[in-house]
Amino acid sequence: MNLKRVVVTGLGALTPIGNTAQEYWEGLSNGVSGAAPITKFDASLFKTQFACEVKNLNIEQFIDRKEARKMDPFTQYAMIVSDEAIKDSGLDLDKIDLTKAGVIWGSGIGGLKTFQDEVTSFSTGDGTPRFSPFFIPKMIADISAGFISIKYGFQGPNFVTVSACASGTNALIDAFNYIRMGKANIFISGGSEAAVTEAGVGGFNALKALSQRNDSPETASRPFDKDRDGFVLGEGAGAIILEEYEHAKARGAKIYAEMVGCGMTADAHHITAPHPEGEGAGNVMKFALEDAGLSPEEVDYINVHGTSTPLGDVSEVKAIQRIFGDHAYKLNVSSTKSMTGHLLGAAGAIEAIASILSIKNDTVPPTINHFTDDEEFDARLNLTFNKAQKRDVNVALSNTFGFGGHNASIIFKKLTE
């Protein structure tokens, strides 16, 4: 099969360190931490009392109040970033084939707040089954893609991927494959999550997955640091317009980068812990490189999953060293979760945007909050500690891994004719 080329023509971001793609990039470049005490509920009795929340957001500036009431926050976030990405792309919706335009979205959890609120209301009542007629449509993960397609009239493939923290990346992979196989010309793709709720924080606390550094939230997410003690929960969304290259070129579109490869594997090891030697993580990068037709030596930057957990950071670095060999010491590695926290199903989307913008700006965003070296990591590796670094970034690889052993990698490249 003669595969078509796929390019990025629009971006939208809503993150704990910036409410647009440009603000997000400025936050990344300046090493800003998005972690702070939780404001969405009283977290005083929780083991973890902080998170990376979206800040200074007035939903009614973006979505009509009546419409917003029909949406869980994760869908509201999806609508906001999709609108930014569509506008950024310069697409004229009256001039495209809407049957060849689709939406593939990602969310690991979906409408958690809606589920929590409805069930709590029922359980504290008199037992009479009173539920909102919007309960189910607000809660289900696929409704985000549904709302987006309804707004823009996109009539092509439309669904949501659910693979825990790999969801956003899996959505991008599916969109990429549909376009290069000629099944569509355009996709709005990405992911959103809004899990900073009592159930979200309490559930991850029960798993002992979250940092409990309540005395210093802004420094709690510290990937590769000896004293890392878990991830910081984040929320938000990222949207990317993926477009068939000739279609984009014909309309004179601005092109950020080309998406050139992807990989997917399973650890087949444990429901929450990564394979200790990073077998699945190594394989997924290897397969992505093979898919892209690139050698390891051609990669300049890896945006790692890097959650700031004791086991995960080690296994991913082992995988990088195994796959990249001596070149591992020549490329830059960084974890932008040190700034944004972990956006779960939206992580892959915003980290793909970070990778794309690293190519556009020839700048590698840092891994902030590094205080103490960990002897488990080879000191020769450039983990881009504490400060962004300028360098030529022609190829960037982004990793996302999820509970259940799901691994996904995607590769972006500077556009060449």
Strands 257-266 and 389-390: unpaired
Instruction: Using the predicted structure, report yes or no on whether residue 127 has a pLDDT greater than 90.
Output: no
pLDDT value, residue 222: 98
Same fold, 6-250 and 262-413: yes
The average confidence (pLDDT) of the chain is 97
What is the spatial distance between Cα 285 and Cα 106, in angstroms, rounded to a whole number? Answer: 20
**What is the average pLDDT across 56-64?**
96
pLDDT of residue 267: 95
Q: For the chain, which residues make up each domain, given as ranges?
A: 6-250, 262-413
- Told to judge if 165 belongs to the known catalytic residues of this protein, a careful annotator would answer yes
Mean per-residue pLDDT, 235-253: 98
The predicted pLDDT at position 417 comes to 75
Per-residue pLDDT averaged across 224-240, rounded?
Answer: 98
Query: What pLDDT is stored for residue 1 in this prediction?
Result: 74
Active site residue 305: yes
Digit-coded pLDDT (tens) for 178-231: 999 999 999 999 999 999 999 999 999 999 999 999 999 999 999 999 999 999
For 292-344, what is each residue's pLDDT tens digit? 999 999 999 999 999 999 999 999 999 999 999 999 999 999 999 999 999 99
CATH architecture of 6-250: 3-Layer(aba) Sandwich (3.40)
How far apart are alpha carbons 71 and 62 in whole angstroms? 13
Q: Report the predicted TM-score, pTM, of the whole model to 2 decimal places.
A: 0.98
Single out the catalytic residue among 165, 247, 262, 275.
Answer: 165
- Which of 275, 342, 370, 406 is an active site residue? 342
Report how far residue 234's alpha carbon sits from residue 343's, in angstroms, rounded to the nearest whole number: 4
- Confidence (pLDDT) at 69: 95
Amino acid at 133: P
CATH code of 262-413, in short, is 3.40.47.10
Of 234, 193, 238, 229, residue with least CA distance to 369: 229
pLDDT for residue 167: 98
| CA–CA distance, 274 with 276 (Å, rounded to integer) | 6
Alpha-helix runs per DSSP H in 54-163: 65-68, 73-89, 112-123, 135-139, 143-152
Quick check: 374 pLDDT over 90? yes
Of the listed ranges 21-35, 112-126, 146-160, 359-373, the one predicted with least confidence? 112-126
pLDDT band at 6 (very low <50, low <70, confident <90, very high): very high
> What is the mean predicted confidence (pLDDT) over 52-68?
96
Q: pLDDT (tens digit, 9 = 90+) per residue, 259-279?
A: 999 999 999 999 999 999 999
**How far, in Å, CA of 402 to CA of 381, rounded?**
24
Nearest to 383 by CA among 323, 316, 322: 316
Strand 301-303 and strand 332-334: the pairing is: parallel
Which entry of 247, 275, 305, 406 is annotated as an active-site residue?
305
Closest-CA residue to 405 (of 268, 277, 263) = 268
Instruction: Give residue for tokens 């997000």.
Output: 24
pLDDT score at 325: 98
Question: In residues, how long is the chain?
Answer: 417
Report the chain's terminal Cα–Cα distance, integer Å: 20
